[in-house]
């Protein structure tokens, strides 16, 4: 059926409109099992829904861009990469026409779902995606390319996204931390100038992250020092100096394991709404788990309250970080 015909019929519905986007490859095709119960939940909640399954990279972005302005709710079943694509799509829609998002995480890592405090059971995820509380969150802009929650380069990054959640749980934090620290040996020193909050800092970094999440790549836990607000217009920025010897490696490992970043002179935490990186040598960045090539200069901006997403009520949000749920 042609796109115009679908949108014409979609727009004539008297009920609220919803779009369901399913990445059939997520969770080893487990995502396909969410279609029937999700459509049923949407219908019971008074939505007229149309369903799309993606066939390749970029599909979710295209669908969200084409249909986002004509629906009230856009539900997606997929992983971190799928929600990254969906957010990129709806960010092309005028702000006052952007739909609320419902997220049914079906990927292998689902780090963003953990940051949002979503439940684990599929039935509860579907119910939340349809009936949860619409909650605004910030979105990142990486040289104009939108992302959901994390832009990073250097050590740890590849390990986080190449390791399944099941493996992470089996390994435990210390083993996972050990793998991350070992990856530093493969990082070459690269002078980087960082422009942040009116300050210019030049140093060699083994890792850098600009995030909107309580936990970064499985080893940096911000909530040990207080709650992270996903809608305050600010990003958390973590810069880790390149260690020159085994003693400095152990200091970084100790700070990561205790959450005492202020006590380690090699780790630097900032909050900001905009940050610029100028690199002597370009590096590959990861945006929500997707590798992205960038040049010598990268500007990252926080777009405050850019999208709304369905979340459990605050008292019901699952937190694996040991402190209060996200605000």
Q: Which of 120-129, 163-172, 318-327 is predicted with the least confidence, judged by mean pLDDT?
A: 318-327
Domains and CATH numbers, the chain: 3-131 (3.40.50.10330), 150-304 (2.60.200.40)
Digit-coded pLDDT (tens) for 63-113: 999 999 999 999 999 988 899 999 999 999 999 999 999 999 987 777 788
- Higher pLDDT, residue 241 or 220: 241
Per-residue pLDDT at 263: 87
Contact 275, 196 (CB under 8 A): yes
3-state secondary structure of 100: strand
Q: Is residue 290 annotated as part of the catalytic site, yes or no?
A: yes
Distances 147 to 22, 172, 305 between C-alpha atoms, Å: 19, 28, 13
Question: pTM for this one?
Answer: 0.85
Digit-coded pLDDT (tens) for 103-162: 999 877 777 888 898 998 999 999 999 999 999 999 999 999 999 999 999 876 765 555
Does the structure show a pLDDT above 50 at 322? Answer: no
* pLDDT band at 326; cut points 50, 70, 90: very low
User: By CB neighbour count within 10 A (0-12 exposed, 13-18 middle, 19+ buried), where does 221 fall?
Assistant: buried
Q: How far apart are CA 120 and CA 150, in angstroms?
A: 21
Digit-coded pLDDT (tens) for 174-228: 455 555 556 666 677 788 999 999 999 999 998 999 999 988 866 788 877 777 8
Per-residue pLDDT at 41: 96
Taking alpha carbons only, the member of 75, 116, 90, 39 closest to residue 318 is 116
Per-residue pLDDT at 209: 94
Catalytic residue among 66, 204, 290, 316: 290
Q: Which of 13-17, 136-140, 196-200, 258-262 is predicted with the least confidence, judged by mean pLDDT?
A: 13-17
* Site of tokens 């890592």: 109
Does the structure show a pLDDT above 90 at 256? Answer: no
Digit-coded pLDDT (tens) for 276-315: 999 998 988 999 988 898 999 999 999 999 999 999 987 6
3-state secondary structure of 186: helix
Task: Provide the percentage of residues in the chain whose pLDDT is more than 90.
Answer: 55
Per-residue pLDDT at 321: 34
- Higher pLDDT, residue 164 or 58: 58
Per-residue pLDDT at 327: 39
Distances 279 to 190, 194, 210, 225 between C-alpha atoms, Å: 7, 9, 15, 30
């Amino acid at each position: 059926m042609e796109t115009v015909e679908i949108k014409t019929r979609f727009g004539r519905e008297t009920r609220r409109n919803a779009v369901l986007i399913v990445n059939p490859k997520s969770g080893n095709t487990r995502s396909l099992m969410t279609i029937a119960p999700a459509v049923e939940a949407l219908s019971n909640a008074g939505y007229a829904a149309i369903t799309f399954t993606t066939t390749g990279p970029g599909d979710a972005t295209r669908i969200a861009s084409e249909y986002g302005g004509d629906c009230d709710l856009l539900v997606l079943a997929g992983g971190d990469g799928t929600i990254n694509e969906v957010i990129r799509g709806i960010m092309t829609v005028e702000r006052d026409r952007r739909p609320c998002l419902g997220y049914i995480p079906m990927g292998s890592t689902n780090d963003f779902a953990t940051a949002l405090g979503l439940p684990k059971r599929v039935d509860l995820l579907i119910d939340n995606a349809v009936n949860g509380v619409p909650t605004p969150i910030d979105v990142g802009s990486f040289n104009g390319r939108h992302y959901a929650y994390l832009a990073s380069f250097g050590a740890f990054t590849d390990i986080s996204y190449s390791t399944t959640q099941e493996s992470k749980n089996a390994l435990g934090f210390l083993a996972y931390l050990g793998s991350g620290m070992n990856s530093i040996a493969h990082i070459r020193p690269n002078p980087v100038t960082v422009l942040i909050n009116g300050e210019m800092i030049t140093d060699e970094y083994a890792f850098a992250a600009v995030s909107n999440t309580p936990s970064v790549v499985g080893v940096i836990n911000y909530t040990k020092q207080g709650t992270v607000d996903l809608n305050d217009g600010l990003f958390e920025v973590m810069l880790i100096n390149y260690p020159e010897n085994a003693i400095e490696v152990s200091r970084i490992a100790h700070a990561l394991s205790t959450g005492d970043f202020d006590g380690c002179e090699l780790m630097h935490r900032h909050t900001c709404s905009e940050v610029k990186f100028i690199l002597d040598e370009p590096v590959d960045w990861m945006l929500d788990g997707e590798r992205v090539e960038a040049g010598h200069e990268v500007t990252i901006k926080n777009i405050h309250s850019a999208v709304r997403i369905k979340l459990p009520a605050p008292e019901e949000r699952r937190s694996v970080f040991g402190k209060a749920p996200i605000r």
